[in-house]
Amino acid sequence: MKEWFKKGEHWIWFSASTVSISVVLVFGLLGMIAWKGLIHFWPHAVYHIEVQHQSGQQEVIVGELHDTKMKQVEDNTAPHGSREVPQYLFKIGNRDVYGIDFRWVSSEDMVGGVERLEKDVVVIERYEYGNVYGHIESVKLNGQVEYNPHKALEMLAEQVEKGSALHSEIHHLEKIEIGAINYKIEGLRLEEKRLRANNDFDAKAEARLAAERAELQKEFDTLHQAVQVLYQQAESTGEVTLRIAGERTLNVPVNKIVSFWQPNNMTTAESIGFFFSNIGKFMWDEPREANTEGGVFPAIIGTVTMVMLMAIFVTPMGVIAAIYMSEYAKEGVLLRMVRISINNLAGVPSIVFGIFGLGFFVYILGSSIDELFYSYALPSPTFGTPGLLWASLTMALLTLPVVIVSTQEGLSRVPRALREGGLALGATKSETIMRIVLPMTMPAIMTGLILAIARAAGEVAPLMLVGVVKLAPELPLDMVAPFVHLDRKFMHLGFHIYDVGFQSPNVEASQPLVYATSLLLVLIILGLNLGAITIRNRLREKYKSLDH
């Protein structure tokens, strides 16, 4: 045994274990995020719990089981003066009735265990006040009341479909059509302000603006009327009456229903279908209830738009700087220092880029732009406030070293013989670079760009200072010219995680959503990274064969 220690065997075992620990941590973490994120989409079974309170009062709880934990309860008869009692967290929904939608229940108060499924229970997801758990008693439509459970269910399905069609139509009209008109009217208001500021506001301009405004107002009125009609239709989609736990009834108007399902009656195939449709909803819906319900569509759009803009800024900047440094600049101490500085810039905390973005881009550049071009809109700032443009520029600076370093590496991998061959055939230096060197560096540039995008998509700290908000009223990307609105604030997946996880009033309700968002973000970033690694490996193979 002494020999064993002397040979340092234990150290080898330690070091082998640290590798295992790292691997276990990585995959454990990813697994946990995946599990907790995906389970959010799976239909939860609804349980029927009978609770006997110490006062003797009996109560029935119907809800989804979300968490279990052990609680120390004082007990003088137990060996340590306390014993452990399992506690269950139920999502009981019906927030408008009970006031809370999550509830801890001690197993000691339960009569007859946790494992009893509630038969034929219906879960209704609403636009407001969260879920409803209960049994359909009747469905009312145009004064007719259907009591037959089977027919009522069918009728409800039909009506909900109608209701959601109406809802999406209303949403489309209000958000997109009317939103566009409002944007144009605001544009006219600003134009008038500008004309007044330049003293160009004469009768002609006034008449023109008035005409345009009247035109828009007419469009607005038409749309408004259409929306009113739709609202009336939505009102008349009927109402469902449910029996909920505690022998109470709850009326839910159909136009408040997002969807409904019967988790305890689902077959596996139906569950899988439900699972995927939930994922779809998560991706394409707007957030509701202070971001704790609904989807993350605006955050996805915000992230993608910001990242794409950043890519547009960072690619030319990075590539030109890299070409300059490896092809044109004179080797020397200065260049080496610059190279080290750029390398090190990658290690500078991202929040420092954030304050630079805020101080320089927003407060100095933005304010100057406002004063020069948008002074008529002051004091309400146009570019002198955090927004999409500044966020993507800040991110471009942040990811610049990644692109430069990667491009430089690619440039240095192009064999000298190829360059010399080009020059020997009479091509100028720029022609050699453009026609021979750059095409061969393309994969390296792509790698750098993808890595830059992955980094920008996951970085939150600087964005908190330069343009991300928890709830943006408008998307930064829409169908109204100029399509990409550089001055707007936007939502971001990473910030969404921070905000919903930490600033939300209903932490328990929002946690599954945060896990789901985390999973989405992790998948995007891992996908990008894997792509970059694949490209890099291919590139290396390619040049290996070139070297010989």
202-223: b or e for each residue (b if 16 or more CB lie within 10 Å)? eeeeeeebeeebeebeeebeeb
The piece of 99-107, 231-239, 482-490, 520-528 that touches other proteins (CB under 8 A) is 520-528
Residue 24, interface with other proteins (CB under 8 A)? Answer: yes
Where is 323: in which H helix or E strand? Answer: helix 297-323
Interface residue with other proteins among 84, 202, 206, 221 (CB under 8 A) is: 84
Asked if 168 and 175 count as a contact pair (C-beta separation under 8 A), the reply is no
Interface residue with other proteins among 100, 283, 442, 533 (CB under 8 A) is: 533
Distance CA 389, CA 460 (A): 16
Residue 392: burial class (beta carbons within 10 Å; 0-12, 13-18, 19+): buried
- Identify whether 386 is preceded by a cis peptide bond (ω within 30 of 0): no
The piece of 96-104, 184-192, 460-468, 483-491 that touches other proteins (CB under 8 A) is 460-468
Q: How far is CA 200 from CA 25, 196, 242, 380, in A?
A: 67, 6, 64, 21
Please report, as residue ranges, which positions from 199 to 258 form the binding site for other proteins (by CB under 8 A): none
Could you tell me the smallest distance in angstroms from the CB atom of residue 501 to other proteins? 5
Interface residue with other proteins among 341, 368, 380, 412 (CB under 8 A) is: 341
Residue 8, interface with other proteins (CB under 8 A)? Answer: yes
Q: Considering only CA atoms, which of 76, 135, 62 is closest in space to residue 105?
A: 62
Residue 498, interface with other proteins (CB under 8 A)? Answer: yes
Could you tell me the smallest distance in angstroms from the CB atom of residue 405 to other proteins? 12
Residue 507, interface with other proteins (CB under 8 A)? Answer: yes
Residue with smaller CB distance to other proteins, 170 or 460: 460
Alpha-helical regions (H) of 2-109: 2-6, 9-39, 95-98
Helices 388-413 and 438-458: crossing angle in degrees, nearest 10, is 140
Residue with smaller CB distance to other proteins, 207 or 352: 352
Interface residue with other proteins among 197, 340, 442, 481 (CB under 8 A) is: 340
Residue with smaller CB distance to other proteins, 320 or 546: 320
Tokens 């930064």, residue located: 476
Q: Give how many residues touch other proteins by CB under 8 A.
A: 99
Where is 304: in which H helix or E strand? Answer: helix 297-323
Residue 65, interface with other proteins (CB under 8 A)? Answer: no
Please report, as residue ranges, which positions from 345 to 374 form the binding site for other proteins (by CB under 8 A): 345, 347-356, 358-360, 363
Asked if 503 and 291 count as a contact pair (C-beta separation under 8 A), the reply is no
Residue with smaller CB distance to other proteins, 104 or 324: 324
Residue 397, interface with other proteins (CB under 8 A)? Answer: yes
Asked if 50 and 60 count as a contact pair (C-beta separation under 8 A), the reply is yes
The piece of 142-150, 238-246, 370-378, 499-507 that touches other proteins (CB under 8 A) is 499-507
Please report, as residue ranges, which positions from 426 to 445 form the binding site for other proteins (by CB under 8 A): 428-431, 433-434
Tokens 């570019």, residue located: 383
Where is 516: in which H helix or E strand? Answer: helix 507-547
Please report, as residue ranges, which positions from 310 to 339 form the binding site for other proteins (by CB under 8 A): 316-318, 320-321, 323-325, 327-329, 338
